Structure 1
């Protein structure tokens, strides 16, 4: 099965076409703590879930700039839908690392949706023909609409050191815990999943380090060059678009209201007349531009190095995470400026900026998106210190 690969402009146009549907169901998704089924179906129909699937299996093998731009577009309609899409892209990339028999099985489902995590919060023990896994994973975005989950567990055998492994398991073999009660990104349905005496055959698990470094055992050239890159730069570039899109959405939402509301208890008949507003709008606009710079540099670096088949230095890897963190920090600050300037009526639930603010804050708190964590990692490397994380 093959699908003609759309251009970046075509994918943005497709994403733009479903934004009204995302907006229509954004309140429903937030109230019900999951993306509406019609939104999932619409994203599938326009090819959102094919964007990181290999062309060999009917996917588009999109570059990361396209992923970021599409996520930003989706975020203008609903951040939860955009976040679900971007999170699916990462485990889909990881699935390409597995042996051919596993890849064929997973990608046999058209528009397959794979959720996942990078946290090793489960334990695994050797068993004849595979391993047995027990444990729980939290914040599993997209679990409610996925066919597979990529899990991480620490394998402890009779000999050797404990080793984190990544495995692919059908969702039907996991128990879902409905525990997603949050202030932001409520619509993502990022529930927990549990494995109880779950058997995983040998072919469906790999050492985490192999996947982190993009060192698949498959022959080179089977898939595009993006599948030969290290995981964390790819994941960073795949995730950054939602934050940038939220900041742009906040700006648009603010500008739609600024000419029609006054500043209460002042003589300004229109907020747009106030010098304070001019400073706020300029400050936010510049921060959004700066966030876009970091997102663009991140995706350009990942795409260029992947296309060239170039090795990554530790400093380049750390900067990839720093670019993502800076984009998130700037997006968060821009939204805060605009939300603070939006007046008391912006606290009403039908005014979009209050949800945008909660959503971008939730993005910024994600362990791999957190600006301070990423800045510290980059600073350590710049100062000649080894990274204090294997997630680089």
Structure 2
């Protein structure tokens, strides 16, 4: 199905030429994936506009809203879809086949919506999700600068600077990491401050070679007071001590914090890799191998080896991530919070899957020859998106391999983010 299709889907939802969906069909997992798949052609057609804007066009945001892609992690009690992590993965991966930037924004906005639902008390989330309209949240865990003072009833952020605030251009709320200091200024914990984006200054400094449409600009805050009710302690979240007691019976909001935050960053990359393989095979017929007797690259044994290895790496990454996702869903459904070793292993798997994905895309890029150098070559963009997606600190393979290796060797973790 493409966005050029005008008519009714097999589930009864109406799809027009702009990819707009009517609410006629229930948003089942299969239907949500179909909606994401239907958006792929339009997302691909807008890549030049995305790169010029360095954020997603409002047309794309509207279509994602209409398809309810930003509602995946919002509780049903607030009109959301409250899907499984598996559905989250499958939907974002499909969006990534169309545009890695759109998938990145979808992955980050959805996980931040989940954090709002899980980490804050009911009266806070009631106010946010019941405010009317579509709620989208962005966030950054680690500040570059954060000068904070404890005051009665909350914290005053006197000055703060955060980088890589993906999706903030389209968000009404921002989750910004701050030190939780006592009255003497000594930091006792790290926290997440939930702040309306109207109180956040966007610095418009996102100018990158890849994932440009993620709109991951730096942001600053000056003299903003955040009440205690809108502060979540990271130490509690890491151990699964969530403030959303009213959602305690809902499995999704018992999902292990750090592995969940880590693994969603690979969802867009899986879509990017799928797009890379599709595009390579699409362009393959009739392409020669320069300075050889091969008039058709598709007939060369080296091409068979390259495609075989790249496809194996993509499939292996998919299998590794799917296993982790299913473990997250199953553990939450049982009401069991994952032990440290399992959480660290999922971080390991996240990093290793990201490594496999990048290697696969790079193999196909190398096999594409000199045409890859063209700035308007679609594969050039995919290659750059795949590279940038693999550079996020919590996806870094060496960091994650070392973390899990330390635990296997009987050492303590070298980070609290497990």
Residue 194 of structure 1 corresponds to which residue in structure 2?
220
1:205 Cα deviation from its structure 2 partner: 0.9
Question: Which secondary structure does the structure 2 equivalent of 1:386 belong to?
Answer: coil
Question: Which secondary structure does the structure 2 equivalent of 1:169 belong to?
Answer: strand
Q: Distance in 2 between matches of 1:220 and 1:156?
A: 28
Q: Distance in 2 between matches of 1:95 and 1:217?
A: 10
Is the 1:339–1:346 contact (alpha carbons within 8 Å) kept by the matching residues of 2? yes
Structure-2 change in CA distance of 1:340 and 1:325 (3 Å): same
Residue 106 (structure 1) aligned with residue 128 (structure 2): yes
Residue 8 of structure 2 corresponds to which residue in structure 1?
none
User: 1:179 aligned to 198, 205, 209, which one?
Assistant: 205
Residue 371 of structure 1 corresponds to which residue in structure 2?
397
1:206 Cα deviation from its structure 2 partner: 2.2
User: 1:53 aligned to 64, 71, 74, which one?
Assistant: 74
1:346 Cα deviation from its structure 2 partner: 2.5
Question: Which secondary structure does the structure 1 equivalent of 2:265 belong to?
Answer: helix
Structure-2 change in CA distance of 1:282 and 1:301 (3 Å): same
Is the 2:279–2:379 contact (alpha carbons within 8 Å) kept by the matching residues of 1? yes
Q: Distance in 2 between matches of 1:123 and 1:211?
A: 22
Of residues 345-354 and 289-298 in structure 1, the stretch that sits farther from structure 2 once superposed is 345-354
Residue 84 (structure 1) aligned with residue 108 (structure 2): no
1:213 Cα deviation from its structure 2 partner: 2.7
User: 1:143 aligned to 161, 168, 182, which one?
Assistant: 168
Structure-2 change in CA distance of 1:366 and 1:171 (3 Å): same
Is the 2:143–2:161 contact (alpha carbons within 8 Å) kept by the matching residues of 1? no
Residue 208 (structure 1) aligned with residue 234 (structure 2): yes
**1:201-240 per-position Cα deviation (integer Å, ceiling 9, x unaligned):** 1211121212233312333545621212221122133222
Is the 2:143–2:163 contact (alpha carbons within 8 Å) kept by the matching residues of 1? no
Q: Distance in 2 between matches of 1:123 and 1:298?
A: 37
Is the 2:143–2:160 contact (alpha carbons within 8 Å) kept by the matching residues of 1? no
Q: Distance in 1 between matches of 2:98 and 2:232?
A: 37
Count the aligned residue pairs: 391
Question: Which secondary structure does the structure 2 equivalent of 1:140 belong to?
Answer: coil
**1:271-305 per-position Cα deviation (integer Å, ceiling 9, x unaligned):** 00111111101111111111111111110110110
Q: Distance in 2 between matches of 1:331 and 1:205?
A: 36
Is the 1:47–1:111 contact (alpha carbons within 8 Å) kept by the matching residues of 2? no
Residue 141 of structure 2 corresponds to which residue in structure 1?
118
Structure-2 change in CA distance of 1:9 and 1:266 (3 Å): same
Residue 310 of structure 2 corresponds to which residue in structure 1?
284
Q: Please give the root-mean-square deviation of Cα atoms over the aligned residues, in Å.
A: 1.7
**Where in structure 1 are there 5+ consecutive unaligned residues?**
none
Q: Distance in 1 between matches of 2:249 and 2:163?
A: 31
Of residues 135-144 and 201-210 in structure 1, the stretch that sits farther from structure 2 once superposed is 201-210
Residue 321 (structure 1) aligned with residue 347 (structure 2): yes
**1:73-102 per-position Cα deviation (integer Å, ceiling 9, x unaligned):** 111110000000001111111112212221
Q: Distance in 2 between matches of 1:64 and 1:237?
A: 10
Q: Distance in 2 between matches of 1:5 and 1:368?
A: 35
Residue 227 of structure 1 corresponds to which residue in structure 2?
253
Mapping of 1:1-392 within 5 angstroms? 6-96=27-117, 97-108=119-130, 109-121=132-144, 122-133=146-157, 134-159=159-184, 161-219=187-245, 221=247, 224-392=250-418
Is the 1:3–1:55 contact (alpha carbons within 8 Å) kept by the matching residues of 2? no
Question: Which secondary structure does the structure 1 equivalent of 2:232 belong to?
Answer: strand
Is the 1:325–1:375 contact (alpha carbons within 8 Å) kept by the matching residues of 2? yes
Q: Using structure 2 for the length normalisation, give the TM-score.
A: 0.90
Is the 1:261–1:269 contact (alpha carbons within 8 Å) kept by the matching residues of 2? yes
Q: Distance in 2 between matches of 1:211 and 1:198?
A: 23
Q: Distance in 2 between matches of 1:124 and 1:105?
A: 25
1:4 Cα deviation from its structure 2 partner: 8.7
Q: Distance in 1 between matches of 2:249 and 2:394?
A: 26
Question: Which secondary structure does the structure 1 equivalent of 2:98 belong to?
Answer: coil
